[in-house]
Amino acid sequence: MVDTQTGSRPSEQTTERVRVAGWVRACWLFALPLLAGLWAASTTFGGGSFQPWEPMMVDLDVYLRAAREVLSGVPVYDSDGRLPFLYPPLAALLAIPLIGPPLTVVQVGWTALNVALLMAVMHRLGLHGWRLSLGAAAAVLLVPPVTQTLAFGQLGIILVALVVLDLVPGPRLLDRVGLTSRLPEGWMSGLGAALKLTPGITVPYLFLAGRRRSAAVALGTFVGLGLLAAAVLPRTSLTYWGRLAGGDSGLGGSVIYYTNQSVLGSWLRLTDLAPGSQLVGLVVSALVAALGIWVAVLWHRRGEVALGVCLLGVASLLASPVSWSHHFVWVVPLALVLLDDRLPTALRVVGFVFAGYTAAEPFAKLPGGADVELTYDWSQLLLGSWTPVLGVALLLVALFQARTFDSVPPR
């Protein structure tokens, strides 16, 4: 780096001071969102408390249990009535380092990592300084998918961050604190797909958008990590992929549970599990995935990469057989992108309605469990289906608006 006024290079001492100042500022801005995250993680669900620290991170407990089972040789996918481990074997392998430290250290560290990644996503999409700090704290406390992801100890924020930080151009927090990333584009999306399959939708998007090398990197990372997991855990991998090939998600009948806000979940509730309804629902889900990829590519070609990636993320949740309401962390980056007044008004309105409805979760008041969803009346069925309806509507509006949108450079 050269001083544009003097033509000289800054001294190493000056560079180090700038780097230290960047870290100090980052820690200061991180403090409020971190405190909000620790509060949300520990108090969102009944039985948890902030002081003394006793959160109810049930999904994080599942990851830790899977890691212990890997080390002890116990079948990972045999839940015996407990919350099942539903992720690819790689996720269990990567959880092994978490079983060494004290549980409190793991819970606090997991929360801090998720809050930091949420801030990195929001920073990539244009928030800086105190706006970033306040915005992240507000998202943590006021957006249920984010709050619940932290409280469960879920992967949702991590998966969104892997895709956004990989594919969306913009300012990089690592550069602001003196660090850089030299790994090729696509590897984080591939890692996300290896942890949970839904980020795999980025591969056809990248290929069709003309980013062939990135698509190859993402696919190669996904396949390579899967083969690595298979080499280390051959029986576990055979069980997972064999079960998946047979159409078994590991969830059984709970796919109709009302917080499953995917297209398939809503379709099965609406059809009362009629014969052939699952096959039809899977076909519709595949069409939604194809629509999402098409829309994302169109907006990518118009220079609106961030919007395309966010729409792709929404489509991945709608098309997945199971997308619990807390999986919809994508509403946060989507809402930030839609703040751009250069975008078509109709698209912004439908997008905000979708994000607002999904975040508000009015369907959370519905009764659930023990297949009570199959006894819903028409008003309950409608209330529980608006998320996929609005999501598909958003994709369709985005499709038509992309055809007439002329990209305008940001102000």
What is residue 117's predicted lDDT score, i.e. its pLDDT? 96
**Residue-wise DSSP of 53-120:** TB---HHHHHHHHHHHHHHHT--TT--TTSPPP-S-HHHHHHTGGGGSS-HHHHHHHHHHHHHHHHHH
**pLDDT class of 111 with cuts at 50, 70, 90:** very high
Is residue 368 one of the residues assigned to a domain?
Answer: yes
**pLDDT class of 26 with cuts at 50, 70, 90:** confident
| Token pair of 161 as six digits | 């961050």
What is residue 16's predicted lDDT score, i.e. its pLDDT? 65
pLDDT per residue as tens digits for the range 359-380: 899 998 899 888 899 899 999 9
Phi, psi of 54 (to 5 degrees): -145, 70
Is residue 393 one of the residues assigned to a domain?
Answer: yes
Is residue 38 one of the residues assigned to a domain?
Answer: no
Cα–Cα distance measured from residue 163 to residue 68, given in angstroms and rounded to the nearest whole number: 28
What is residue 32's predicted lDDT score, i.e. its pLDDT? 95
- Is residue 5 packed enough to be buried (19+ CB in 10 Å), middle (13-18) or exposed (0-12)? exposed
DSSP reduced 3-state for 161: helix
**pLDDT class of 14 with cuts at 50, 70, 90:** low
The Cα-based distances of 97 to 38, 66, 109 in angstroms read 21, 12, 12
CA 251, 256, 258, 264 torsion: positive or negative?
positive
> Who has greater pLDDT, 156 or 28?
156
Is the CB of residue 347 less than 8 Å from the CB of residue 398?
A: yes
Q: What is the mean pLDDT of the chain?
A: 90
Cα–Cα distance measured from residue 324 to residue 3, given in angstroms and rounded to the nearest whole number: 51
Is the CB of residue 33 less than 8 Å from the CB of residue 136?
A: yes
What is residue 246's predicted lDDT score, i.e. its pLDDT? 79
Percent of the chain with pLDDT over 90: 73
DSSP reduced 3-state for 260: strand
Is residue 361 one of the residues assigned to a domain?
Answer: yes
Task: Please determine, for residue 1, whether its predicted confidence score (pLDDT) is greater than 80.
Answer: no
Task: Please determine, for residue 101, whether its predicted confidence score (pLDDT) is greater than 70.
Answer: yes
Is residue 274 one of the residues assigned to a domain?
Answer: yes
What is residue 410's predicted lDDT score, i.e. its pLDDT? 45
Q: What is the DSSP letter of 408?
A: -
Which of 92-101, 111-120, 153-162, 267-276 has the lowest average pLDDT? 267-276
**pLDDT class of 411 with cuts at 50, 70, 90:** very low
Is the CB of residue 359 less than 8 Å from the CB of residue 331?
A: yes
Which of 9-13, 138-142, 240-244, 389-393 has the lowest average pLDDT? 9-13
Is residue 404 one of the residues assigned to a domain?
Answer: yes
Range of the domain at 386: 251-411
Is residue 57 one of the residues assigned to a domain?
Answer: no
> Who has greater pLDDT, 48 or 335?
335
Is residue 106 one of the residues assigned to a domain?
Answer: no
The tally of domains found in the chain comes to 1
What is residue 58's predicted lDDT score, i.e. its pLDDT? 93
What is residue 109's predicted lDDT score, i.e. its pLDDT? 97
pLDDT per residue as tens digits for the range 248-284: 777 666 789 999 999 999 999 999 888 899 999 999 9
